[in-house]
Amino acid sequence: MSPLKISWKSLISKPLSSGLNIMLIAFGTGILTILLLASTQIENKLNNNSKDIDLVVGAKGSPLQLILSSIYYIDFPTGNIPLKEANELSHNPFVKRATPLALGDNYNGVRIVGTDSNYVSLYGLKVQSGKFWSADLEATIGTTVAKEQNLKVGDTFFGAHGLTNNSDVHKSHAYKVVGILAPQGNVTDNLILTNVASVWKMHEPEDEHKPGEAHEEHHESTEISNREITSLLIQYRSPMSVAMFPRMVNQMTSLQSASPAMESTRLFSLIGVGVDTLQWFAILIMFIAAISVFVNLYNSLKERNYDLAIMRTLGASRTKLFMIVNPRGLGIDHSRHADWGRFRAFGIAVDWALPRK
């Protein structure tokens, strides 16, 4: 009988004890592996979605909430900002590129984002089919949205007010899908992109869409002063902007600036507290399992000392005995083998050792 077969017989002789130890080690190792993979992926996702965005400007409120709503689209915006002030910041000498965002609508829980062509350059977007939006009520959707919502180029859909529910549907205007984005591996795969004017049109009173010359002239003259957007994604022109521009926004305007790098680090540190706790818990489980394995192995060797001695007198080498005992130390077999009995052990030893004489 081979050493591995003897070890296997030992394993199945005490399945509960062996199974418990194996389960403890597997559970602890699994938790550590999952936590390490999850924390790495979360950090990579956070960095991937905000890597080219230096600053986010929005309404006063929580900086973290502003980042979560404007970059990761997983929270409600802090409010709206006047388009006039946003345009002034966009033309500031410290700003290289300013990308406007207009939020407020969704389609089956998928956020509709009003923006401009700067958003395409910011994320390096490419279309898989169709084209980018160019007119009002045209939409370019992410690849995940197309698959989950069963949308294709040429389809139409109605947006709903809010960011999570479909209770207030804008049935007077339908979006038309004109393009589907190529897979990007970031948040744009889960968005519906259109221009800012389309979002404005959805929230205009019905009488503003009726033709009237006097009304149109008044509307054009007051459009800039009355319009609002949700936030601005800023790219700096020079390193000096890092020190000057955020302070200027926070102190000299009614707006708020938030750094994605700082807030993402803060967010990850909050998540990291729980991750570290679970990691120590997994290590504790593995430590307990290791002690249990050691105790079982020690008791097993102690109880089988007589059996091993018989095997040794029958010609078994130290290497062969080690091959029998070693699988238990590797976690394959942790039972005490008390039910073997010396007579059975003697018979197996004779069966294994005699052919080698």
Q: pLDDT tens, 285-317?
A: 778 777 877 777 677 667 667 767 777 777 777
- For the residues of 51-94, what is the DSSP string, one character each? TT--EEEESSS-HHHHHIIIII--S-----EEHHHHHHHHT-TT
In 154-245, which ranges are E strands? 156-157, 160-161, 175-181, 192-195, 228-229, 231-236
* pLDDT value of residue 154: 93
**Confidence category of residue 7, pLDDT binned at 50, 70, 90:** low
- Measured from the Cβ of residue 304, the count of other Cβ atoms closer than 10 Å reads 21
Q: Whose CA is closest to 147, among 171, 122, 115, 181? A: 181
Choose from 141-155, 161-175, 341-355 the range with maximum mean pLDDT: 141-155
Q: Which residues pair with 58 in a beta bridge?
A: 231, 256
Choose from 124-133, 195-204, 238-247, 290-299 the range with maximum mean pLDDT: 124-133
| Mean per-residue pLDDT, 148-162 | 92
Inter-residue contact 292 to 24 (CB < 8 Å): yes
Instruction: Answer whether residue 143 shows pLDDT above 90.
Output: yes
Q: pLDDT tens, 96-136?
A: 999 999 998 999 989 999 999 999 999 999 999 999 999 99
* pLDDT value of residue 146: 95
Q: Whose CA is closest to 203, among 114, 291, 263? A: 114
pLDDT higher for 127 or 342? 127
Q: How far apart are CA 141 and CA 21, in angstroms?
A: 50
* pLDDT value of residue 30: 80
Q: Which residues pair with 232 in a beta bridge?
A: 57, 100
* pLDDT value of residue 339: 36
Q: pLDDT tens, 54-93?
A: 999 999 999 999 999 999 998 899 989 999 999 999 999 9
* pLDDT value of residue 317: 76
- Number of residues that this document lists for the chain: 357
Instruction: Answer whether residue 348 shows pLDDT above 70.
Output: no
**Confidence category of residue 13, pLDDT binned at 50, 70, 90:** low
* pLDDT value of residue 14: 67
* pLDDT value of residue 295: 76
Q: pLDDT tens, 35-48?
A: 778 777 777 887 78
Choose from 58-72, 165-179, 239-253, 308-322 the range with maximum mean pLDDT: 58-72
Q: How far apart are CA 178 and CA 130, in angstroms?
A: 6
Distances (CA, A) of 207 to 215, 216, 329, 345: 10, 11, 81, 96
Instruction: Answer whether residue 250 shows pLDDT above 90.
Output: no
Maximum Cα interatomic distance, the chain, rounded to a whole number of Å = 114
Provide the whole-model pTM.
0.69
Q: How far apart are CA 28 and CA 288, in angstroms?
A: 10
Instruction: Answer whether residue 173 shows pLDDT above 50.
Output: yes
Q: Are strands 95-107 and 256-258 parallel, antiparallel or unpaired?
A: unpaired
Q: pLDDT tens, 273-282?
A: 666 777 777 7
Rg from Cα positions in the chain: 33
DSSP symbol at 169: B
| Mean per-residue pLDDT, 187-202 | 93
